[in-house]
A and B are shown apart, each in its own frame.
Chain A
Amino acid sequence: MSIIWFSMIIFGMIVAIFNGKIEIINDVILQDAQEAVIFAIGLTGIMAVWLGLMNIAKKSGLIKAFALIMQPVTKLLFPKVPADHPAISAIMMNMVANMFGAGNSATALGIKAMEELQTLNKDKKAATNAMCMFLVINMSSIQLIPLTVLKLRGDAGSAAPTEIIATSFVATAVSTAVGIFVCKVLEGREG
């Protein structure tokens, strides 16, 4: 991550100098840093709501029950995570939220899932196989209805804004399958 971060900033700066737009750096520091803070603050509310609800579900035993039902799938994807671990429920709820396009709820539940996975991690600084798998599945997003895309298509005057739902779904399924496969191949030994 350090190398990626460094390259992005230095490369961006060099290009900015060549384009004679070095003043944009100040602009970025001001605007984008502020945007990040606003975003994090905005996430606080929904994060608190889901953590509250998850705490109820934990105490009522719902989380354990739900995790056990999902066991056949999760055992395959996350072999090192115990079947009745709260991480499994958080991961599943994150996927459901993602599927239905509830982006912020999904982020809140995803962070919760990461925290639960971290409790199983021996080396707290390196990602576990389960974390990598979870993130890759998460990032190949299994969204049933891409609402923002539909809205943009509608606004642009499309005769059939929804005709891309099926194609998106197929493309997503392919990328999720590829992601899971690549993860399994690259997994190797955990540190």
Chain B
Amino acid sequence: MIYILTIISVAAIPIMISVILIHGMIKKVNLYDAFVEGASEGFKTAVRIMPYLIAIFLAIGVMRKSGAMELIISFMKAPMTLLGIPPEVLPLAIMRPISGSGALGVLQDILTHYGPDSFVGRVASTMMGSAETIFYTMAVYFGAVGIKYSRHTVPAALIAHFAAMIASVVICRIVFL
């Protein structure tokens, strides 16, 4: 099962590309010209998102390197433990929506410290696999089109993230305990 899933994963993008090219060929699209014409937009987009990326990287960098992240994590410890989230995985739960590479570092820490097959290790792995960085994604996607007011995106994304964290703990309790 896992083996099949891995193959599908690796093959998905090549299949998408092949379908597009073959369909274009059948419909007699001038493939080469159409590709180059579309691709020329890529540079404009990259330049357009750059200032937004710099802004968000800067803010996240200051938070992480100043120790402000650790401070927030220690504040959140009591309420989160009440909800049944093991305190060991808290740093990950909080880091995950803010910084992807930061969260990977935290996960690595947890796995070496508690062992990947411990309950904490399994919960942490599940959390990592079920969540996504929020602020960075918002900066890139909204930045690319110049959206200034994100409306209900942040609350909805944070609630969904919170649900993922709780669900990770609950499902691991059911499966592994």
* Known contacts A8-B63, A15-B71, A149-B125, then 13 further A-B pairs from the complex at CB < 8 Å, ordered by chain A residue: A15-B66, A33-B58, A56-B35, A57-B23, A111-B144, A139-B97, A140-B160, A141-B132, A152-B125, A156-B115, A171-B129, A186-B155, A186-B156
B142–A114 touching, CB < 8 Å = yes
Contact residue among A32, A99, A102 (Cβ-Cβ distance under 8 Å from B60) = A32
Q: How many A-B contacts are there with CB distance less than 8 Å?
A: 357
Determine the chain B residues whose CB is within 8 A of the CB of A186 once the complex forms: 152, 155-156
Interface residues of A in 133-191 (CB under 8 A from B): 135-136, 138-141, 143-149, 152-153, 156-172, 174-176, 178-179, 182-183, 186-188, 191
Interface size class of A (residues with CB under 8 A): 35 or more
Determine the chain A residues whose CB is within 8 A of the CB of B71 once the complex forms: 15
Q: How far is the CA of A126 from the CA of B157 in the complex (A)?
A: 17
Tell whether A127 pairs with B149 under 8 Å between CB atoms, given A56-B31, A164-B122, A182-B155.
yes
Q: How far is the CA of A164 from the CA of B2 in the complex (A)?
A: 11
**Chain A residues within 8 Å of B, Cβ to Cβ:** 1, 4-5, 8-9, 11-16, 19, 21, 24-25, 27-29, 31-33, 35-37, 39-41, 43-45, 47-57, 59-62, 93, 96-97, 99-102, 105, 107-108, 110-111, 114-115, 117-118, 124-127, 131-132, 135-136, 138-141, 143-149, 152-153, 156-172, 174-176, 178-179, 182-183, 186-188, 191
In the complex, whether B68 has a CB less than 8 A from a CB of chain A is yes
Determine the chain A residues whose CB is within 8 A of the CB of B9 once the complex forms: 100-101, 144-145, 147
CB distance from B65 to the nearest CB of A (A): 4
CB distance from B120 to the nearest CB of A (A): 12
Question: Can you list 27 pairs linking A and B with CB atoms under 8 Å apart?
Answer: A1-B139, A9-B59, A12-B59, A15-B66, A19-B66, A21-B65, A21-B66, A33-B57, A39-B57, A47-B45, A52-B37, A56-B34, A56-B38, A124-B145, A138-B132, A138-B137, A141-B132, A148-B104, A153-B111, A153-B121, A156-B115, A158-B111, A164-B126, A171-B126, A176-B160, A178-B159, A178-B163
CB distance from A34 to the nearest CB of B (A): 9
CB distance from A95 to the nearest CB of B (A): 11
Determine the chain B residues whose CB is within 8 A of the CB of A13 once the complex forms: 62, 66
CB distance from B153 to the nearest CB of A (A): 5
Tell whether A93 pairs with B107 under 8 Å between CB atoms, given A8-B59, A24-B65, A164-B129.
no
Contact residue among B153, B164, B171, B176 (Cβ-Cβ distance under 8 Å from A140) = B164
Tell whether A165 pairs with B2 under 8 Å between CB atoms, given A60-B29, A125-B148.
yes
CB distance from A111 to the nearest CB of B (A): 4
B116–A161 touching, CB < 8 Å = yes
**Chain B residues within 8 Å of A, Cβ to Cβ:** 2, 5-6, 8-10, 12-13, 16-17, 19-21, 23-24, 26-27, 29, 31, 34-43, 45-47, 49-50, 53-63, 65-68, 71, 97, 104, 107-108, 111-112, 115-117, 121-122, 125-135, 137-142, 144-157, 159-161, 163-164, 167-168, 171-172, 175-176
CB distance from B173 to the nearest CB of A (A): 10
